[in-house]
Amino acid sequence: MNRTDPRTLIAIAAVVFALWQYQQDGRQPAPPLPPQGFSLNGLFVGPTASEDAVSIAVMTAELADQLDWDSRQASPKVVTGQAWDDLRIAVREQRMRGVSIGQRQPHVRDAIHKYLDEKAGSKGGEMTPEDRVKWIMAYRDISRAAEDASK
């Protein structure tokens, strides 16, 4: 009687299973992925569309990171909705140096405005930890949507 090493049997079984799985995958197409959350696809138009989408993606990612970092400090500087709005305006003005993507891309501006109102609200008073999370997540969603739209 010929005894085969158990490790060899396990390796053979793994190869057989992998081949079977490969064949199964080849026969059945994967179902399409559902759309993920917020989308800006098709809203950026004109000769600066891709550049504008990248600018929005970078700027909103940075804003989300800034608020996230500030939230973890012993004494956060952004403690009200008004302070957050002031920071957003200052970052946008400095980053864009007077150029208004909102004027060039009104559909994008309106979609982002609506999304922020729905996801994060518009109150100017004291910012709770829950408010911070809402703003951070909303800005990260916008960044991802703008990055997707830039492709």
The pTM of this model reads 0.73
Residues 6+ apart with CB under 8 A from 149: 39, 40, 41, 42, 43, 44, 53
Query: Is residue 148 scored above 90 in pLDDT?
Result: yes
pLDDT tens-place string over residues 73-100:
999 999 998 898 888 888 888 887 878 8
Query: What is the rounded CA–CA span in Å between residue 29 and residue 82?
Result: 50
Question: CB count, 10 Å around CB of 32?
Answer: 6
- Cβ count near 143 (within 10 Å): 20
Is there a contact between 70 and 78 (Cβ–Cβ < 8 Å)? yes
The string of pLDDT tens digits covering residues 14-65 is 555 555 555 555 554 444 444 467 999 999 999 999 999 999 999 999 999 9
